[in-house]
Amino acid sequence: MAKTAKLDKDKVWLGITPTLWWNDDFINIDIGIPFEQCISEMALAGFQGCSMGHKFPSDPLVMRAELEKRNLRVSEPWVSTYFTINEMKKQTVQKVRDQLKLMDVLEKGNDGKRRADLVVAEFGRAVNPLPVALVANCPIFDAAEWDKLIKGLHEIGKIAKDEGRNLCYHPHLGTGVMREDAVDKLMAETDPDLVHLLVDTGHLAAVESDPLAVTKRHVARVRHLHLKDIRADVAKKMRDKGWSFEQAIQAGLFNVVGSGDLGIFPEIFKVLAEANFAGWLIVEAEQNPAKANPLEYAMKARAYLREQLGW
């Protein structure tokens, strides 16, 4: 009998986002947990890395020192791109360069195998920050906007590649690349050497796209994953009742991997293993910490991953 492929712990690293401890899109979702407690609990739960949040120190040397005390690394600098709207390309490219410079400081002298990926999403005309019906008002890019986005991604993808980093595109609720068909178009029209894919299971599933199918179709381009589970009843209400993104978050749209209604994660891990995936798997759940204790849910997620991955 053929041996089942397994993800290699020497090539796959587990991270978590601070959105379990506070929300970075809606800063009113916050019970006052400080940066130091957040990253201490990340490490206590058994994670190796994390994305950055708005409470992280602005001084990269201070940030690095605090993370290193806890044996943590930054997994992904984030850039919201604005290629599809007027007079924003120059600012977007500069933000990319700034984030790459930050990562040079955070990673200087460290081993090169766990380099952070540059994660981006196009927020031109995005409605996710707004108090409006998310699904009904999601932008649909026209041909000119697609052209601007693809050219812009190629430009910053080349910048990232020259720095030895993957640029990973994150399909995001409330943006012009939200559903499965838009992901397919983006992958078809971008250079695979310059633009890779971040699969966010929760964002895709919330609008009835299939994260497993997306992973299978584009596994050769997948370099990074956000492992979110969803509460299916909340997702349905978001779609049917015209909820905003914040309303859905407050109602508990997302849950940590293995604690919601998706049930597709073992198969996703199998697909990744068969493709010899190397990179970051990031636990994410934009839950209200007043309702969902962050450490408890972080530990639940890590226990689930240990059960599924064997480490």
Q: What is the pLDDT of residues 11-48, one digit of tens each?
A: 999 999 999 999 999 999 999 999 999 999 999 999 99
Has this prediction a pTM greater than 0.95? yes
pLDDT attached to residue 19:
97
The predicted model gives 104-129 an average pLDDT of 94
Q: What's the N-to-C CA distance of the chain in angstroms?
A: 23
- Alpha carbon distance 35, 287 (integer Å): 17
- Alpha carbon distance 94, 128 (integer Å): 23
Output b/e per residue, 11-44; b: 16+ Cβ within 10 A.
ebbbbbbbbbbbbbebeebbeebebeebbbbbbe
- Nearest Cα to 157, choosing from 130, 183, 193? 193
* Domains identified in the chain and CATH numbers: 12-309 (3.20.20.150)
The token pair that represents 67 in the structure block: 């993370």
Helix, strand and coil in the chain, % to nearest 5: 40, 15, 45
Contact 248, 205 (CB under 8 A): no
The pLDDT of residue 1 is above 50: no
Sign of CA dihedral 169, 155, 102, 174: negative
CA distance to 48, 217, 303, 305, per residue, from 14 (Å): 6, 23, 12, 9
The predicted model gives 267-292 an average pLDDT of 98
Residues 6+ apart with CB under 8 A from 202: 226, 228, 229, 230, 253, 254, 284, 285
pLDDT attached to residue 216:
98
Q: What is the pLDDT of residues 147-200, one digit of tens each?
A: 999 999 999 999 999 999 999 999 999 999 999 999 999 999 999 999 999 999
- Alpha carbon distance 231, 263 (integer Å): 11
The predicted model gives 128-133 an average pLDDT of 98
The pLDDT of residue 209 is above 50: yes
Q: What is the pLDDT of residues 62-98, one digit of tens each?
A: 999 999 999 999 999 999 999 999 999 999 999 999 9
The token pair that represents 218 in the structure block: 């584009």
- Alpha carbon distance 285, 296 (integer Å): 12
DSSP 184-210: HHHHHHS-TTT-EEEEEHHHHHHTT--
Q: Sorting pLDDT into bands at 50, 70 and 90, what band is 5?
A: confident
- Alpha carbon distance 5, 98 (integer Å): 39
> HEC profile for 16-81?
ECHHHCECCCCCCCECCCCHHHHHHHHHHHCCCEEECCCCCCCCHHHHHHHHHHCCCEEEECEEEE
- Alpha carbon distance 217, 200 (integer Å): 15
Q: Looking only at Cα atoms, what is the longest distance across the chain?
A: 59
The token pair that represents 154 in the structure block: 């190629």
Give the mean pLDDT of the chain. Answer: 97
If DSSP codes are grouped into helix, strand and coil, which group holds residue 88?
coil
The predicted model gives 115-119 an average pLDDT of 96
- Alpha carbon distance 7, 9 (integer Å): 6
The pLDDT of residue 113 is above 90: no
pLDDT attached to residue 3:
59
